[in-house]
Every structure is written in C-alpha cells, then in structure tokens.
Amino acid sequence: MTTQQESPVSAVISIQVENESGALARVIGLFSGRGYNIESLTVAAVDETRRQSRINIVTTATQRVLEQIRAQVERLVPVYRVSVMTAADPHVAREMALVKVIASGERRADALRIAQAFRAHPVDASATSFVFELTGATDKLDAFIDLMRPLGLAEVSRTGVAAIARGAAIL
C-alpha cells in the first residue's frame, strides 16, 4: 500500500504568491530541496494593487507526490493559493517560443511554409535569418522546433507554461 508505484503524470502547479522579496526563491528552493522536478517555470506580477504574483511550474510526478507538492507549497508563508492541474483537470496551458532559423534558398522557403502551417509569425527577418514567434501547447512548440532543426534551427527561447483553469473556476 505504501510503496505502490503510481505512474507519474505531467502537471502544472499554479501558485498565487505575495509579491515580496524572496517569494520565488522560497518556492523553487522547496522544489530543489525536496527533490521535485521543475520542467518549466514562469513568474510575473498579476495583481499590482494587491501585490500578488503568479508562478506556474510544470512538473512530472505521481498523484501522491503532486498532493505533497501542493501541501508543501501551500504552507509557505507568502503563498495564497495553489492549484495542481493535470490532464484530468480542464485547463488551458500555453507557452510562447521565439525560434531563430538561419537558412537560405530552398530551406528558407520550407521554414516559412511550415511556420505558416503552425501559425508562427516571423517577428524578425534578415537576408539569412528569421525569428518566429509561436504560441501554443508545449507539444506544438516541440513539434515546430523539431521540424525547424534540419532547416537551420539556430536558437530557441521559450517562456515556459502559463496555465489557467477552464470555465468559471478560479484559483
């Protein structure tokens, strides 16, 4: 019963914190200190008047560990609320990537065509390069980046996931 292996699932942990010095360090220190994995991390102020920020952390863990992460994060003093969103919880999760491709001739044309299919916008272009901006689910970004690789992929900058529950439910 106690050591039963559940299969790990991917989850977004959304954390509403007091926008104070050290709050982010407390959260990520908890993750590294207790051996939880961080696959991506976003943080920004979301309510200036009430001095609140939102942290989104993507992690992979068993349901029991996810519950433990929730409880451990919740007890941090500057944390208001925590929500753990897995595939079972209706939510929207998006990230943005800036993808630089250096190519010319046929490969340049291919890159542009694929970008159109992915609704990636060229936000910068030079004679030899493009920077594409692409927003979507993580796997869509992964697929786009994979397709760009043989076409001259030079550099990627990703924001990490921002997530929010579907419907009227709020954190």
Residues forming contacts to other proteins in the complex (CB under 8 A) are: 1-3, 17-18, 21-22, 25-26, 29-30, 33, 64, 67-68, 71-72, 74-75, 77-80
Sequence-distant (6+) residues with CB within 8 A of 16 are 46, 52, 53, 54, 79, 80, 81, 82, 171
CB of 171 to other proteins, least distance (A): 13
Residue placing its CB nearer to other proteins in the complex, 86 or 104: 86
Structure tokens at 112: 């542009």
Smallest gap, in angstroms, from Cβ of residue 98 to other proteins? 31
Rounded least distance, CB 76 to other proteins, Å: 8
Main-chain dihedrals φ then ψ at residue 75, nearest 5 degrees:
-85, -5
Sequence-distant (6+) residues with CB within 8 A of 1 are none
Q: Which is nearer to other proteins, 71 or 154 (CB)?
A: 71
Nearest distance from C-beta of residue 49 to other proteins, angstroms: 13
Nearer to other proteins, 49 or 126 (CB): 49
Smaller CB separation from other proteins, 22 or 105: 22
Report the alpha-carbon distance of residue 77 to residue 97 in Å, rounded: 33
| Cα distance between residue 126 and residue 120, in whole Å | 17
